[in-house]
């Protein structure tokens, strides 16, 4: 009887965790949709730099980094699949929050997150199939549910579409939902960490190999560096480089957790349910250090440097900001430039 009661408790906890993961994913995707404005989306599609950067960062750079780290650290098939899943995920909402804190280009950040989520419908299963070849003869990879991955990704389109509709019809409600989704992201990660640790045992963290911890530290750090280098290659201004850096290193860990939780048998995955949560912990900590370094050392310099660099780049993000967000700090700076007030008299009045 005690054994049956314990098993029932574990099953109930597992089901509760599944529900929490599903709800967290829906709230996150709803918040993402509420952050997308149709006018911004149209302009980005006419000049699809953000979409291209999302493609290169999330589905070329990060899956390759995850694959190479899995090989370098000689991970077993379970750990390798968890790392690959995380590396192949689209961008997450954490990058939008961090981009605000480093005075990044929010239009670019939101477009990159949204476009990488849409591209993931096709490219995430493709990347998983391609990079899982070294472990193809293992039972877990043979059971790799690419169809279920696509189905989980497809289910995120409904809350994203609903969020876009809310933004179009009720902008104030959309602003509130964006804030709710960002806070729920942080709260959900903490709850997931606690519940997963409770379900799998108090000594779970001690049984996760040191190599997995090392990858959880190195992967987001490498993503941030590659993103910054990619934006530099595109000759983007500093505030856009910071944005692309954060977008590349921040993965949608709720989606990764949902796929691991909802599509794999628990007895096969075991403690690797914790990997996306560890990744979330370290990507947030490293992004926090990035923000701190910017606030302490780079806050004044990059703004002045940005004004000079934007004159030479072919991608005029400053003009886009003046047209769309006149009350931001960048709009204020640009209004001081010669000719800014006459060209946008209505926005200056606002």
Of 224, 261, 256, nearest in space to 243 by CA: 224
Determine if residue 269 is left, alpha or beta; phi over 0 gives left, psi from -120 to 50 gives alpha, anything else beta.
Answer: alpha
**CA–CA distance, 235 with 311 (Å, rounded to integer):** 11
Q: What are the structure tokens assigned to 84, written together? A: 């690959």
Q: Give per-residue pLDDT as tens, 289-310.
A: 998 888 888 764 444 444 444 4
pLDDT tens string for the chain (350 positions)?
Answer: 454 544 444 555 556 666 776 777 777 778 877 877 777 666 766 777 888 898 999 999 999 999 999 999 999 888 898 899 999 998 877 787 788 788 888 788 888 888 888 888 888 889 988 998 888 877 777 767 677 677 777 777 788 888 888 888 888 888 888 888 777 777 776 776 676 666 555 566 667 788 988 999 999 999 999 999 999 998 899 999 999 999 999 988 878 877 887 777 767 766 677 788 788 888 888 988 998 888 888 764 444 444 444 444 344 344 444 444 444 443 444 444 444 445 444 443 43
pLDDT at 148: 67
Q: What are the structure tokens assigned to 2, written together? A: 């005690």
89 close to 125: Cβ distance less than 8 angstroms: no
198 close to 261: Cβ distance less than 8 angstroms: no
Would you give the DSSP letter of residue 59? I
Q: Give per-residue pLDDT as tens, 117-136.
A: 888 888 888 998 899 888 88
**CA–CA distance, 91 with 283 (Å, rounded to integer):** 12
Domain boundaries, the chain: 21-295
Domain 21-295 indexed as CATH 1.20.1530.20: yes
Q: What's the CA dihedral at 107, 113, 118, 122 to 10 degrees?
A: 140
Q: Give per-residue pLDDT as tens, 221-265.
A: 999 999 999 999 988 999 999 999 999 999 888 788 778 877 777
Residues near 329 by beta carbon (within 8 Å), at least 6 away in sequence: 103, 303
């Amino acid at each position: 009887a005690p054994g049956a009661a314990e098993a029932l408790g574990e099953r109930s906890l597992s089901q509760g965790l599944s529900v929490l993961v599903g709800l967290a994913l829906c709230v996150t995707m709803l918040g993402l949709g509420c952050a997308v404005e149709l006018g911004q989306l149209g302009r980005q599609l006419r000049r699809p730099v953000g979409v291209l950067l999302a493609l290169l960062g999330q589905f070329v750079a990060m899956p390759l980094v995850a694959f190479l780290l899995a090989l370098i650290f000689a991970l077993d098939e379970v750990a390798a699949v968890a790392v690959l899943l995380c590396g192949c995920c689209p961008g997450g909402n954490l990058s939008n929050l961090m981009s605000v804190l480093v005075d990044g280009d929010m239009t670019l950040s939101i477009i990159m997150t949204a476009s990488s989520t849409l591209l993931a419908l096709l490219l995430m299963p493709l990347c998983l199939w391609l990079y899982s070849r070294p472990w193809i003869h293992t039972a877990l990879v043979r059971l790799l549910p690419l169809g279920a991955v696509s189905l989980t990704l497809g289910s995120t389109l409904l809350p994203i579409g609903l969020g876009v509709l809310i933004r179009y019809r009720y902008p104030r409600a959309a602003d509130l939902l964006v804030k709710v989704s960002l806070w729920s992201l942080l709260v959900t990660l903490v709850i997931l960490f606690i519940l997963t640790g409770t379900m799998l045992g108090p000594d779970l963290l001690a049984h996760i190999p040191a190599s997995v911890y090392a990858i959880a530290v190195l992967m987001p750090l490498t993503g941030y560096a590659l993103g910054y280098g990619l934006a530099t290659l595109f000759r983007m201004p500093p505030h856009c480089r910071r944005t692309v850096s954060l977008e590349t290193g921040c993965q949608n860990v709720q989606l990764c957790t949902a796929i691991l939780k909802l599509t794999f048998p628990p007895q096969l995955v075991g403690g690797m349910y914790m990997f996306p949560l560890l990744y979330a912990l370290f990507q947030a900590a490293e992004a926090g250090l990035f923000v701190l370094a910017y606030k302490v050392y780079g806050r004044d310099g990059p703004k002045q440097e940005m004004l000079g660099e934007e004159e030479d780049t072919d991608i005029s993000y400053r003009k886009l900001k003046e047209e769309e967000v006149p009350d931001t700090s960048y709009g204020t700076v640009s209004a001081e430039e010669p000719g800014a007030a006459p060209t946008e008299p209505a926005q200056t009045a606002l």
